[in-house]
Amino acid sequence: MSITPPESETLRRENQEARVARSRLRLSTRRSYEVWIGNYIVPEWGECPITSLQQPRPVQLWLNSLAPKLGSKSRREIQARLRNIIDYAQFAGYLPIERNPMELVRIPGSSKRTREPRSLTVEEFRRFLEHLDEPFRSIALVCGLLGLRISEGLALKWLDLNWLELEVKIERGIVAGNVDDVKTRASEKALHLSQELITVLKNWRQITEFSADDDWIFACPTMLGKKPWSYDTVRRRFMEAAREAGICWLGTHSMRHSFRSWLDGVGTNVTIQQKAMRHSNIGITMKYGDSDRGAIAQAQEKVSALVPAPEGMARERVPF
């Protein structure tokens, strides 16, 4: 995609500074952007002038043509990256500042989940743990009982643990072997360690050959401890254990979804749930987890008991 730079050297320098500032994204976000831009946008639009994106209909037809091999959510990601490109072109002065034409492109069904997030009941989680060997069992416990993202769990070092204060500091994530910042400022904080987790971590430290303060807690032996276990390996082992436990589907993020469900199940205030999940927005917290069906049934029974039965009608359970 060709963009003719302004003639002024000053403007070129300012635009370069703006580009650098806007490129300071988390590694995982940058990698995602690069995939969509490099694999789809550049091959299709790379030789076109930026003005070719001012008409939304050709973009709409192109995205529609991708439907056989890409789902609606993937096509929405491509649309979002195109919108970012237009935004920057307007910001840099290559296009007039006006409504972004990508807002007129529609991706039907893109707001619907193709697969609902999987939350485990406590019993399912116990069965799941029975089919995990170390260190994957400890990884599952740490992520599940602290509600960590897998990138945060794998990036823990022994020096992050404060045994006296019963806390662990969440200061970094690791993506594709590269250390990165945590997702948001709200994510960077110290979390309480229960006695159960203290026991799990102390037992693991006695077993692992990488127990120095500066070592990764879940260091990979095949990498000589220089890096933790990879996301792909953990994900594959989690899925194998889930199948063996009779659980139909499970991802690494299921530990975080399950944590929120368990918080809900023990009656935790939603505001406290948000802080425990380290979300910057409570609306994000509400999208996590899945309330236990038994708890929902009990809540419905309590609500029904508040309503007086019609006069002359006995309140009794109707058999089905």
Looking at the structure, tell me whether residues 72 and 141 fall in a common domain: no
Place of tokens 């002024």: 8
- Residue 320's pLDDT is 36
What mean pLDDT comes out for the span 36-46? 89
Q: What percent of the chain has pLDDT over 90?
A: 34
- Residue 110's pLDDT is 55
- Of the candidate ranges 80-84, 147-151, 279-283, 300-304, the one whose mean pLDDT is the lowest: 300-304
Confidence of residue 318 (pLDDT cuts 50, 70, 90): very low
Residue of 261, 259, 265, 273 lying closest to 298 (CA atoms): 265
Looking at the structure, tell me whether residues 130 and 266 fall in a common domain: yes
- 245 token code pair: 């436990």
Confidence of residue 155 (pLDDT cuts 50, 70, 90): very high
Note the residue count of the chain: 320
295 is a domain residue: no
Residue 12 has pLDDT above 50, yes or no: no
- How do residues 243-260 score in pLDDT, each as one tens digit? 999 998 888 888 989 988
- 143 token code pair: 């992520």
- Residue 201's pLDDT is 95
Looking at the structure, tell me whether residues 100 and 145 fall in a common domain: no
Single pTM value for the model: 0.66
298 is a domain residue: no
- 19 token code pair: 């580009």
109 is a domain residue: no
Looking at the structure, tell me whether residues 169 and 68 fall in a common domain: no
Looking at the structure, tell me whether residues 282 and 193 fall in a common domain: yes
What mean pLDDT comes out for the span 144-157? 92
Task: Tell me how far the alpha carbon of residue 299 is from its chain's centroid.
Answer: 30
Residue 236, Cβ neighbours under 10 Å: how many? 12
> Which residues span the domain enclosing 160?
122-286
Confidence of residue 229 (pLDDT cuts 50, 70, 90): very high
Please list, in sequence order, all residues whose beta carbon lies within 8 angstroms of the beta carbon of residue 40, skipping any fewer than 6 positions away.
Answer: 66, 78
Q: Give the separation between CA 167 and CA 162, rounded to whole angstroms.
A: 5
**Phi/psi of residue 156, nearest 5 degrees:** -70, 140
179 is a domain residue: yes
Residue 9 has pLDDT above 50, yes or no: no
Give the Å distances, CA to CA, from 69 to 26, 63, 64, 66, 72.
Answer: 28, 11, 10, 6, 10
List, in sequence order, every residue forming a beta bridge with 174; answer none if it has no partner. Answer: 179
Looking at the structure, tell me whether residues 23 and 126 fall in a common domain: no
CATH of the domain at 192: 1.10.443.10
- Last residue in a domain, options 72, 104, 136: 104
Q: Number of structural domains, the chain?
A: 2
Looking at the structure, tell me whether residues 97 and 222 fall in a common domain: no
3-state secondary structure the chain: CECCCCCCHHHHHHHHHHHHHHCCCCHHHHHHHHHHHHHHHHHHHCCCEHHHHHCHHHHHHHHHHCCCCCCHHHHHHHHHHHHHHHHHHHHHCCCCCCCCHHHHCCCCCCCCCCCCCCCCCHHHHHHHHHCCCCCHHHHHHHHHHHCCCHHHHHCCEHHHEECCCCEEECCCEEECCEEECCCCHHHCCEEECCHHHHHHHHHHHHHCCCCCCCCECCECHHHCCCCECCHHHHHHHHHHHHHHCCCCCCCCCHHHHHHHHHHHHCCCCHHHHHHHHCCCCHHHHHCCCCCCHHHHHHHHHHHHHHCCCCCCCCCCCCCC
* 44 or 31: which leads in pLDDT: 44
Looking at the structure, tell me whether residues 30 and 149 fall in a common domain: no
